[in-house]
Amino acid sequence: MIRYQPPIADIAFALEHVVGYPEIANLPGFEHADLDTVVELIEQCGEFMAEVVAPTNQSGDSEGARRQPDGSVMTPTGFTEAYHQYVEAGWGSVPLPEEFGGGGFPRTVGLIIQEMMTSANMAFALCPLLTQGAIEALLHYGDEDQKKRYLPRMVSGEWTGTMNLTEPQAGSDVGALTTRAVPRPDGSYALTGQKIFITFGDHDMAEQIVHLVLARTPGAPAGTKGISCFLVPKFLVNDDGSLGERNGVHTLSLEHKMGIHGAPTCVLSYEDATGYLLGGENLGMRIMFVMMNSARLSVGMQGLAVAERAYQQSLAYAQERRQGLAIGATGVDSAIIEFPDVRRMLLTQRSSLAALRYLMLLDASYVDRSTNDPDPAARARANEIVGILTPICKSFGSDLGNELTSLALQVHGGMGYIEETGAAQHLRDVRIAAIYEGTNGIQAADLVGRKLGVRGGASVRELLATMREISAELAGAGPEFDTIREELGRQFDALEQATEWMLRTGQTDPNAVLAGSTPYLRMWGLCTGGWLLARAAVAAPATGDTALADSQLVLARFWAEQVLPQCTGLLGAAIAGTRDLFALDAHQLAGQASPVRR
Amino acid sequence: MIRYQPPIADIAFALEHVVGYPEIANLPGFEHADLDTVVELIEQCGEFMAEVVAPTNQSGDSEGARRQPDGSVMTPTGFTEAYHQYVEAGWGSVPLPEEFGGGGFPRTVGLIIQEMMTSANMAFALCPLLTQGAIEALLHYGDEDQKKRYLPRMVSGEWTGTMNLTEPQAGSDVGALTTRAVPRPDGSYALTGQKIFITFGDHDMAEQIVHLVLARTPGAPAGTKGISCFLVPKFLVNDDGSLGERNGVHTLSLEHKMGIHGAPTCVLSYEDATGYLLGGENLGMRIMFVMMNSARLSVGMQGLAVAERAYQQSLAYAQERRQGLAIGATGVDSAIIEFPDVRRMLLTQRSSLAALRYLMLLDASYVDRSTNDPDPAARARANEIVGILTPICKSFGSDLGNELTSLALQVHGGMGYIEETGAAQHLRDVRIAAIYEGTNGIQAADLVGRKLGVRGGASVRELLATMREISAELAGAGPEFDTIREELGRQFDALEQATEWMLRTGQTDPNAVLAGSTPYLRMWGLCTGGWLLARAAVAAPATGDTALADSQLVLARFWAEQVLPQCTGLLGAAIAGTRDLFALDAHQLAGQASPVRR
């Protein structure tokens, strides 16, 4: 197992030259977060993640989290120590408000910390990720007492948080949940019900866990309209801030999962547990989306982060492993990196990682604009762009996460299938990212159902127009950029064609739009990736670093010529409508049409 | 866990109407294997696999094979009993020569048995698969005594076989192996060395294991030219056929793998083990290819078989699981099969499985023609077609196996990630198929390096011309076949363009051809799949079964319009050459270009 190398140079270049971070640092409130400060910070953070967290990854997978006979949950060896050091160093608090002890850095910086922590150990990194979602819900909807009582120690990381949405009969359809919350005379509520898939629902890394729990109050409307959100601490908190009695929430069991074994995924039972209403009754869905939207970008980032770690390992293996003789080579054996097909696997990984990183950081930068730009119109526009980019980041990031970790495994040949090599773990771990925080199908439905129609389609058309501006830049950059320009133009045309079809068709046949939503979302991923790689290639020569400039040109050209053309290949599926999808009945789908020979 | 349903109707239709099985049954030697007999046989066989073998799949995965303290290997509970019933029923012997107790059925029928056995339990099915490879080597290269001594009980399945190729430093490059075979005065050889990745290298399902082992004799030429193949039985065999003393081959350890946990993957140590030369010295590579070529088609079939099982499970789940309300639906909840994006995942699986099954069975039917056609020219041509189709079957089959099992998992949402659901096992199990028996990259190199150039390209051009004949049939079949015809024409053009580029470029720049080999192979998979789906759609109306005919039309059209266009999307990658692949040095690949800000 090679050491994880935080990709500081890649990140620093992306911040300065691709996603316009200097403009973010100029926004009011982010003055202290200038680029130099940020690069220094992420260097230190990367060092921490590589030294302290990364070594727990493989052992955490083989050991797994365990539920003890007494019902408590133990994380794998080393997690508790690493987490305490993480809290002490304060990495979790960097992007959180200074008012509650945070560093007040932009979300963009927070996302970079998440990338590196997830590369180091995805299972471990889930605990801070869930905590952050709970913090954001509290920041937006907590009352003064709740904020004062819980936020400082959640921001520091001393206390962790969870999101309790899912119940056995209520997965993607959150509105079907049945956990009850009955008001008590003292203003608190008594919660009773069972929640499943609760990540870090219990563990031994922190003394306190703050659960945010969706439940129904008596007489609440049916479906999503009647859902409220409650804060349910593992231990009640006394007025002096000390921990009081144990609350009525208990871990019934842990799931046996394909991956992220180090992260306890709990079945939690709430029995007359004391909860405190957040925001007000029936605001649960709104609060959930506050937690979710932030988490969706983070989950897309998981795809990138795990694939980055897997890539590093496959690159090292391809340089070490000697096998056979490449064409034109002399000597005994060639390193397998000399074989063109292995190069293809490496270049596909490298270019996809760059595209994803630019896309994720761009989305995060718009999150920061949406909160801190002094111009309300700019904030509103940034919010629209976040709305479009977030489902793309989540789905494209996690889908590529699966595909790239599988390529990294493939580079290892037979060794990749052996668990001790570590390549298989990355594939097993990242597989969940396409599922949780809203399946990738839900993301695609969100894109075509909620985001495309904003301002009658003007929002998405404006983004496409912005992307098209790269054409002139490429034309001015030199003839070596010609094929990039031509291919981007062709693929943007296909994306535009699909977009106009979606906007037109959505008015009369929403099912047809949903039918093409997944291939359509991938077209967006490919095109935004190609756009940002091109932007990087155009910007790179100004750095004066010719190795970097050459590298960015190659990545952009490889993507444009060899990856991006998948986009037109998806056009047919995006605009085919529902006919063939619904043409077969259950018998035909099962292949039970009566065979001829009877 | 739902019961495995052997896809008898699909297979029977494929045999009669898509791959021309009746012609195979007319070949000399196969007269007893007429279609009716075969369909009855596979019905019984399917029943056996569903009843006896399939129930061992999930428990075999969680229990795994284990090495005992005494060095012996135990398979999971139920494997031994199921295997004894398998031997008793004689399923393994069906496609093997009658001379040694086999049923003398075509390879096509043997492949169908393998499909169903692999769907039932891939780990279990590996033991007969390896045995079959060893049998074929013995049939081709064994002397009379060897055949008589070993074959009858290997054909019956009482004894099993293995293939011992890989050593730690010799994976894809078999020529690097160092196991030594020193001649003894009695004509036998003493083998010493270590072999890894030996599937069912030891186990408790049979009393005897016949290892075929590649090794070097003293003074043998370097590389692949100096490799010989030896038969090394676990127990020496006395002249009366009884088992004698234990031979010097022992299991050092079992690998911990991502999947196929029920199949012991052994590190075998040969210490002065008694071996018998097969064929003659330095024929090892030729014998290996006899074992391999048969196994490659079988490994492609594994992709289909595991994906079929996963599909059945996801289809059942999509019908049971109720969640939310589909557009236009009324009532409380819709089954998720009513959502268009879930339908897309199901249709993608169903159409891909049909395409793969047609492709695999077509390849197998040409294997049968290559052995049993009385016309030498027809045999030679069949052999060429097998040469082209086999790497496509292996790579496209196993790649789609990975993609489709991942889709099946995705249909399950969060439940898919929980091991008890069983969806994750399919993905973990099938992942090896893209690696072993020659990685998929090796298959692509074989296609462009060895198969394309046969008869100066005439062989492959003739196959393309045969595929193009479907166009006239589609034109005569009615207007509902129009888009299939148009899309196939467009994609065949792309495939032809890539093929001509490969043939031209291969003469001067073999690395450029290798650079595009993987996307090029996938273009072949997509086009042959589309071709055979179209053939099925054109043939289906003649059955008089309208449900079947409708179904085949929809599958062919869905593939042509929504899957096949990936092909043009791959053209750029297929013909891009090596430039960008080799443009980045190790530092640039690692992202270590010096960051700007220093």
Pick the residue from chain B with its C-alpha nearest to A548: B593
**Amino acid found at A429:** D
The domain tally of chain B equals 1
Model pLDDT for residues A128-181, shown as the tens digit of each residue: 999 999 999 999 999 999 999 999 999 999 999 999 999 988 888 889 999 999
User: B118: which 2 tokens?
Assistant: 């692999």
A179: three-class secondary structure by DSSP = coil
Instruction: Please answer whether residues A524 and A499 qualify as being in contact, where contact means their C-beta atoms are separated by less than 8 angstroms.
Output: no
User: Is B504 a member of any domain?
Assistant: yes
* Chain B positions in Cβ-Cβ contact with residue A323 (cut-off 8 Å): 171-173, 176
**Amino acid found at B14:** A
ipTM: 0.97
A283: three-class secondary structure by DSSP = coil
- Asked if the model's pLDDT at residue A595 lies above 70, the reply is no
| φ/ψ of residue A68, rounded to 5 | -80, 160
* Chain B positions in Cβ-Cβ contact with residue A344 (cut-off 8 Å): 515, 518, 573, 581
Position A330 scores a pLDDT of 85
How would you classify the pairing of strands A265-278 and A228-233? antiparallel
- Asked if the model's pLDDT at residue B593 lies above 70, the reply is no
Instruction: Please answer whether residues A215 and A228 qualify as being in contact, where contact means their C-beta atoms are separated by less than 8 angstroms.
Output: yes
Position B2 scores a pLDDT of 87
Pick the residue from chain B with its C-alpha nearest to A553: B580
Asked if A431 and B435 come within 8 Å (Cβ–Cβ), the reply is no
| Of A430, A418, A403, nearest in space to A317 by CA | A418
Instruction: Please answer whether residues A370 and A273 qualify as being in contact, where contact means their C-beta atoms are separated by less than 8 angstroms.
Output: no
pLDDT, mean over chain A? 96
* Chain A positions in Cβ-Cβ contact with residue B435 (cut-off 8 Å): 410, 413-414, 416-417
Query: What is the helix (H) or strand (E) element at residue B161, kind and residue range?
Result: strand B159-164
Pick the residue from chain B with its C-alpha nearest to A353: B591
Model pLDDT for residues A13-47, shown as the tens digit of each residue: 999 999 999 999 999 999 999 999 999 999 999 99
Position A171 scores a pLDDT of 87
Position B597 scores a pLDDT of 40
Question: How big is the CA angle at A482 (ends A477 and A487), to the nearest 5 degrees?
Answer: 125
* Chain B positions in Cβ-Cβ contact with residue A440 (cut-off 8 Å): 410
Model pLDDT for residues B462-504, shown as the tens digit of each residue: 999 999 999 999 999 999 999 999 999 999 999 999 999 999 9
Model pLDDT for residues B22-43, shown as the tens digit of each residue: 999 999 999 999 999 999 999 9
**Amino acid found at A311:** Y
Instruction: Please answer whether residues B140 and B129 qualify as being in contact, where contact means their C-beta atoms are separated by less than 8 angstroms.
Output: no
* Chain A positions in Cβ-Cβ contact with residue B405 (cut-off 8 Å): none
pLDDT band for A290, please (50, 70, 90 cuts): confident
> Per-residue pLDDT averaged across A208-218, rounded?
98
Distance from CA of A146 to the nearest CA of B (A): 32
User: Is A117 a member of any domain?
Assistant: no
CA–CA separation, A4 and A309 (whole Å): 7
Pick the residue from chain B with its C-alpha nearest to A552: B588
User: B413: which 2 tokens?
Assistant: 């949402």
| Of A116, A96, A114, nearest in space to A105 by CA | A96
> Per-residue pLDDT averaged across A448-469, rounded?
98
User: Is A374 a member of any domain?
Assistant: no
DSSP string, A363-379: HHHHHHHHHH-S-HHHH
Asked if B572 and A565 come within 8 Å (Cβ–Cβ), the reply is yes
Distance from CA of A484 to the nearest CA of B (A): 12
Position A68 scores a pLDDT of 96
For residue B41, how far is the Cα from the chain centroid? 22
pLDDT band for B290, please (50, 70, 90 cuts): confident
Distance from CA of B157 to the nearest CA of A (A): 27
Position A390 scores a pLDDT of 98
Asked if A406 and B402 come within 8 Å (Cβ–Cβ), the reply is yes
Best B341, B432, B448, B561 member to test A by mutation, with max A CBs in 10 Å, is B341
Q: What pTM did the predictor assign? A: 0.97
Which residues form the domain of A515?
448-593
Catalytic residue chosen out of the listed positions B308, B437, B462, B500: B437
Instruction: Please answer whether residues B264 and B202 qualify as being in contact, where contact means their C-beta atoms are separated by less than 8 angstroms.
Output: yes
Position A377 scores a pLDDT of 98
CB atoms within 10 A of CB B281: 17
Position A597 scores a pLDDT of 40
Residues of A annotated as catalytic are 437
According to DSSP, residue B49 is labeled I
From the number of C-beta atoms within 10 Å of its C-beta (0-12, 13-18, 19+), residue A288 rates as: buried
CB atoms within 10 A of CB A28: 8
Asked if A333 and B176 come within 8 Å (Cβ–Cβ), the reply is yes
- Asked if the model's pLDDT at residue A268 lies above 90, the reply is yes
User: Is A152 a member of any domain?
Assistant: no
Beta-carbon contacts of residue A81 (< 8 Å; ≥ 6 apart): none
DSSP string, A433-470: GGTSSS-HHHHHHHIIIIITTGGGGHHHHHHHHHHHTH
Asked if B435 and A414 come within 8 Å (Cβ–Cβ), the reply is yes
According to DSSP, residue A332 is labeled S
Asked if B569 and A565 come within 8 Å (Cβ–Cβ), the reply is yes
pLDDT band for B299, please (50, 70, 90 cuts): very high
> Per-residue pLDDT averaged across B378-399, rounded?
98
According to DSSP, residue A243 is labeled E
- Asked if the model's pLDDT at residue A53 lies above 50, the reply is yes
Longest dimension (CA), chain B: 84
Position B140 scores a pLDDT of 95
Best B332, B589, B594 member to test A by mutation, with max A CBs in 10 Å, is B589
Model pLDDT for residues B105-144, shown as the tens digit of each residue: 999 999 999 999 999 999 999 999 999 999 999 999 999 9
Model pLDDT for residues B398-451, shown as the tens digit of each residue: 999 999 999 999 999 999 999 999 999 999 999 999 999 999 999 999 999 999
User: Is A328 a member of any domain?
Assistant: no
Model pLDDT for residues A492-511, shown as the tens digit of each residue: 999 999 999 999 999 999 99
pLDDT band for A294, please (50, 70, 90 cuts): confident
Q: How far apart are the first and last CA of chain B?
A: 58
> Per-residue pLDDT averaged across B50-70, rounded?
97
User: Is A208 a member of any domain?
Assistant: no
User: Is B560 a member of any domain?
Assistant: yes
Q: What percent of chain A has pLDDT over 90?
A: 94
Position B594 scores a pLDDT of 47
Pick the residue from chain B with its C-alpha nearest to A402: B406
> Per-residue pLDDT averaged across A369-382, rounded?
98
User: B291: which 2 tokens?
Assistant: 């074992």
Q: Which of B434, B515, B595 sits opposite A344 (nearest CB)?
A: B515
Distance from CA of A509 to the nearest CA of B (A): 10
Best A17, A199, A258, A322 member to test B by mutation, with max B CBs in 10 Å, is A258
Position A596 scores a pLDDT of 40
Beta-carbon contacts of residue B492 (< 8 Å; ≥ 6 apart): B464, B467, B468, B527
CB atoms within 10 A of CB B513: 30
User: A483: which 2 tokens?
Assistant: 């094929």
User: Is A397 a member of any domain?
Assistant: no
SS3 letters across B298-353 = HHHHHHHHHHHHHHHHHHHHHHHCECCCCCCCCCCCCEHHHCHHHHHHHHHHHHHH
Distance from CA of A377 to the nearest CA of B (A): 33
Instruction: Please answer whether residues A414 and A349 qualify as being in contact, where contact means their C-beta atoms are separated by less than 8 angstroms.
Output: no
Instruction: Please answer whether residues A548 and B589 qualify as being in contact, where contact means their C-beta atoms are separated by less than 8 angstroms.
Output: no
How many alpha carbons lie under 13 Å from residue B332 in its C-beta half-sphere?
A: 6
User: What are the Cα distances from residue B56, in Å, to B59, B74, B75, B80, B207?
Assistant: 6, 14, 11, 10, 21
Asked if A558 and B569 come within 8 Å (Cβ–Cβ), the reply is no
Residue with tokens 């948080």: A161
Pick the residue from chain B with its C-alpha nearest to A14: B595
Position B111 scores a pLDDT of 98
Position A328 scores a pLDDT of 87
pLDDT band for B591, please (50, 70, 90 cuts): confident
Best A411, A514, A584 member to test B by mutation, with max B CBs in 10 Å, is A584
Beta-carbon contacts of residue B239 (< 8 Å; ≥ 6 apart): none
Position B595 scores a pLDDT of 40
Model pLDDT for residues A92-127, shown as the tens digit of each residue: 999 999 999 999 999 999 999 999 999 999 999 999
User: B349: which 2 tokens?
Assistant: 């699986």
Distance from CA of A392 to the nearest CA of B (A): 16
CA–CA separation, A106 and A22 (whole Å): 12
> Per-residue pLDDT averaged across B543-557, rounded?
97
Asked if B17 and A510 come within 8 Å (Cβ–Cβ), the reply is no
> Per-residue pLDDT averaged across A197-202, rounded?
97
